[in-house]
Chain A
Amino acid sequence: MAQNFDEAAQRELAKFLEAEQAKARLQQSIHTFCDLAFDKCVTKIGNKLDRSEEACLANTVDRFLDTSLFIVRRLEETKGSM
């Protein structure tokens, strides 16, 4: 199959695939966060998400990422002091 494409086309396809893989990873993270945040924030199933639920969903994502950064920093610090 690769013989069908010249070198420039193969390079372009490789770049395209890399971008699509990054997109797939991003979407997968969104699924994970949504799973987590939905359980935390949407306690009753109503006709619309209310303001506080919306805020909770956004905060959950941001604080989860903060937590991730915090843990990495903390581990780096402890590594330095050992």
Chain B
Amino acid sequence: MSDFGNYSSGGSMEAKKQQVMDQVRSELALANAQELINKINEKCFARCVTKPSTSLGGSEQTCLSNCMDRYMEAWNIVSRTYINRVQRESQNMGGAGGF
């Protein structure tokens, strides 16, 4: 993790501002991806590796691959549904806030 104070010296204020924003955006994207990976790890381990043995078997690996894909599909559906709902609710409330 690089720190916020670490600007290249001599850049304009605008450039520094962009740098801060880009950094925040990429850290958020990273945190989101890590959370997704943790959830997938937890769910798919529980579903696919029911009897842990000395190594991951072929069928366990197939299950894990499928499970990862299904979880990401599910994530996209949940995301779409929730965002639609938030938008609908905030329109109903005259654009004020929502959840």
Contacts and interface: CB of A to CB of B under 8 A. Distances in A.
Given A16-B21, A62-B85, A57 B39 contact: no
Overall SS of chain A's interface: helix
A65 B85 contact: yes
A34 B17 contact: no
A34 B74 contact: yes
Contacts, number: 95
Given A30-B79, A49-B73, A54-B77, A13 B17 contact: yes
A54 B71 CA distance: 12
Interface residues of B, number: 38
From B13, B70, B78, name the one whose CB has the most chain A CB atoms within 10 angstroms: B78
Closest 9 CB pairs of A and B: A61-B81, A34-B78, A58-B81, A57-B77, A45-B67, A30-B79, A34-B75, A45-B66, A27-B32
Interface of A: 1, 4-6, 9, 12-13, 16-17, 20, 23-24, 26-31, 33-35, 37-39, 41-42, 45-49, 54, 57-58, 60-62, 65
